């Protein structure tokens, strides 16, 4: 691991007292994009995707070069983020079908509930995808206010008579959609509304806002003005331009929120976090994960490794640096709790680590020596990352990569290292002993439609290709 100043080029992958007595608890703004490509941000070195406001977060904080999420698709990733646990341990290992009578199990305590107990106002805007029935909705899972969608995706424009899952809702009530709306802009409007209300009504109370954009998840709906704003940029396809325009709209809303925080005098004492929910979806939304291999739903780096930024000007986090330690999205919950003046109980069985000692330079090394993944149950695809090595079991086919020297996973070393394969398989099986079979199942329509590109299909054993394309 290194921790020092680096140029923002595309990654050359090679406490406090109890909350009631804390006067300077930081605000927390957690920004989440959806199906974005690893390469598709200015701070990642993209020559086409313009993200000046997200870049400003990188310039005033830390960019993580080895950040992972706990699942390769939308719903499991969110379950891990908000619970601080491996979601496979409570049965949320697959994407939640829509509609479905269940959701993230109600006995699992979530991030906003912990922060409410520490005195925070809690707000959510955007995509939920953790349960449609009322008991599972955000306003019943720790959020004081919610505006967004309950399913995983919808049109970015007005829908006539949408289902509850695709409707825009505010604390369980349908929102009246008007002609001309654009969902990304509306999410920004509502975030500003919620924050202004918070500052006016509870000026001495810290806030936690989870702003979960749907951009740039399909459908590929971009505003004409955003498309034309990129006319001066050369794209390899019109679809890539639309993806960039959707990302531009998201970045603009981030900028509006940052400007509001600055105007209210709250920006310096706000920890701002940005990350993506899983790897870019490839042909589904024309995202790019280069130079990583794979895409959303895969166990390759392109499926689980994500861009991530953290900035907190008054919090002792250095500016404009890269952090190379192995990090997971479920580290954010324990980090927030400790930042907010709380203590961590072993009874909570959180999987994450408090990142602040690493970011402030008080601790060196990787927050995690080992991370594991599983998607679609015991017979599905799974992976284990351990001290520079990565073992992948793709529905029975085993691969081994040395990620530190081969982050693009080009050379399968399984045949040359049978003992290492045996060891890592055993470690993964021990981890799986704590996992449940999924509470619901995933079908492969996504990969049948968008699939692996030809070069990925050719790398799989023949007996698997019928299953993924």
Catalytic machinery residues? 74, 129
Q: What letter does residue 315 receive in the DSSP assignment?
A: T
Q: How far apart are CA 238 and CA 235, in angstroms?
A: 7
Which residues is 371 bridged to in the sheet? 385
Half-sphere exposure of 467 (CA within 13 A, CB side): 14
Coil, strand or helix: which one is 327? strand
Q: What φ, ψ does residue 338 adopt, rounded to 5°? A: -65, -40
**Rounded distance, CA 69 to CA 47, Å?**
25
Contact 122, 116 (CB under 8 A): yes
Residue 21 DSSP class: G
Q: Which of 412, 417, 396, 389 lies closest to 459 in space, CA to CA? A: 412
Q: Look up residue 244 and give its DSSP letter.
A: H
The radius of gyration of the chain from alpha carbons, rounded to an integer in Å, stands at 21
Whole-angstrom distance, CA of residue 323 vs CA of residue 89: 28
């Amino acid at each position: 691991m290194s921790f020092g100043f680096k140029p923002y080029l595309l990654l050359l992958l090679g406490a406090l007292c109890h909350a009631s007595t804390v006067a300077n608890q930081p605000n927390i703004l957690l920004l989440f994009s959806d199906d974005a490509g690893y390469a598709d941000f200015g701070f990642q070195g993209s020559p086409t995707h313009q993200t000046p406001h997200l870049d400003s977060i990188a310039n005033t904080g830390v960019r993580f070069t080895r950040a992972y999420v706990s699942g390769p698709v939308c719903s499991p990733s969110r379950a891990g983020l908000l619970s601080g646990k491996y979601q496979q341990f409570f049965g949320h290992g697959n994407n939640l079908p829509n509609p479905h009578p269940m959701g993230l199990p109600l006995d699992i305590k979530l991030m906003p509930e912990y922060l409410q107990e520490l005195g925070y106002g809690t707000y959510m805007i955007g995509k939920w995808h953790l349960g449609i029935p009322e008991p599972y909705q955000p306003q019943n899972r720790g959020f004081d206010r919610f505006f967004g969608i309950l399913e995983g995706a919808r049109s970015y424009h007005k829908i006539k008579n949408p289902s509850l899952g695709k409707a825009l809702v505010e604390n369980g009530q349908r929102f009246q959609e008007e002609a001309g709306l654009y969902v990304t802009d509306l999410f920004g409007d509502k975030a500003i509304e919620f924050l202004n209300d918070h500052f006016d009504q509870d000026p001495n109370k810290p806030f936690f806002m989870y702003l979960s954009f749907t951009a740039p998840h399909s459908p590929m709906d971009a505003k004409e003005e955003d498309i034309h704003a990129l006319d001066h940029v050369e794209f390899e396809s019109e679809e890539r331009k639309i993806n960039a325009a959707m990302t531009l709209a998201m970045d603009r809303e981030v900028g509006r929120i940052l400007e509001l925080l600055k105007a209210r005098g709250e920006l310096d004492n706000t920890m701002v976090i940005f990350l993506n929910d899983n790897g870019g979806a490839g042909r589904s939304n024309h995202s790019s994960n280069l130079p990583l291999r794979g895409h959303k739903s895969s166990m390759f780096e392109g499926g689980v490794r994500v861009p991530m930024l953290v900035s907190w000007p008054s919090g002792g986090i250095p500016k404009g640096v890269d952090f190379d330690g192995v990090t997971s999205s479920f580290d954010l919950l324990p980090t927030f709790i400790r930042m907010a003046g709380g203590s961590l109980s072993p009874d909570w069985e959180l999987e994450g680590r408090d990142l602040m000692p690493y970011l402030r330079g008080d601790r060196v090394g990787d927050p995690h020596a080992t991370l594991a993944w599983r998607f679609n149950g015991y017979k599905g695809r799974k992976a284990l990352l351990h001290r520079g090595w990565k073992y992948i079991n793709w529905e029975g086919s085993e691969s081994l990569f040395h990620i530190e020297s081969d982050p693009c996973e080009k050379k399968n070393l399984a045949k040359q290292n049978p003992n290492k394969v045996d060891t890592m398989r055993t470690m993964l099986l021990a981890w799986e002993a704590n996992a449940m079979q999924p509470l619901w199942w995933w079908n492969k329509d996504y990969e049948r439609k968008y699939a692996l590109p030809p070069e990925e299909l050719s790398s799989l054993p023949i007996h698997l290709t019928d299953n993924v394309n």
